[in-house]
Amino acid sequence: MLSAHLEYFKNLLQGEADISYSAYLWKNELEFKNLFPRGQFLRLKFSPFEEMESLLSKAGIEYTVDAHAVALERYYLLFDKSALDERGKLTSNHIDNMFDGAIRHYRDGALELAEKCIQNYIGLSRKPPSSLQLERFEELAFVAEIEMKYHDRPLGQFLFSALERIPTDHPRILDLKNVAAIAKQGSE
């Protein structure tokens, strides 16, 4: 049993796995609980890549990490199960419909429409912004950051740029825009 999991870990870290770690964990979580000591199980659940490397090293299994594949796996782990397909990959429908369809319009090349969808999604016409509007701004900044780090860098840059252009004089939004700008610079 352990050897099959180690083989999967090796394939995953090398970018050769058929399913994402999210899907693998869903299918094997109960077995992991029984197979591994509690601490190791929790590391496999919450910091899986480091634990996989540790297990492979202890077993003397050689592998070469594909950094892009691991980054993509980290990206998938950030999403709720409802946003992923049976293979643990993000459904195109989910991402395309985020932020009132802004990402779909971005991918279609309709950048002005995409930016308008972002502004409508956040809805900063109310002064002061509601807690929902602040949450939506933060959510969009988070997605922009994970896109830049793990998945679609140009999309992340577009989302950050759209956030920077949102007109507002509210101190909390200005603070969030500064945080977003720093995250954008850190990801470039």
Residue ranges of domains in the chain: 2-83, 92-187
- 162 φ/ψ sector (left φ>0, alpha ψ -120 to 50, else beta): alpha
Instruction: Answer for the pair 114, 103: CB distance below 8 angstroms, yes or no.
Output: yes
Tell me how far CA of residue 34 lies from CA of 11, 18, 46, 121, in angstroms. 23, 24, 17, 44
Model confidence at 123: pLDDT above 60: yes
Q: pLDDT tier at 183 (50, 70, 90 boundaries)?
A: low
Q: Are 171 and 128 in contact (CB under 8 A)?
A: no
Contact between 88 and 48 under an 8 Å Cβ cutoff? The reply is no
The string of pLDDT tens digits covering residues 41-70 is 999 999 999 999 999 999 999 999 998 889
| pLDDT above 60 (res 188) | no
Percent of the chain with pLDDT over 90: 46
Residue 31 has pLDDT above 90, yes or no: yes
Choose among 120, 125, 137, 139: nearest CA to 174. 137
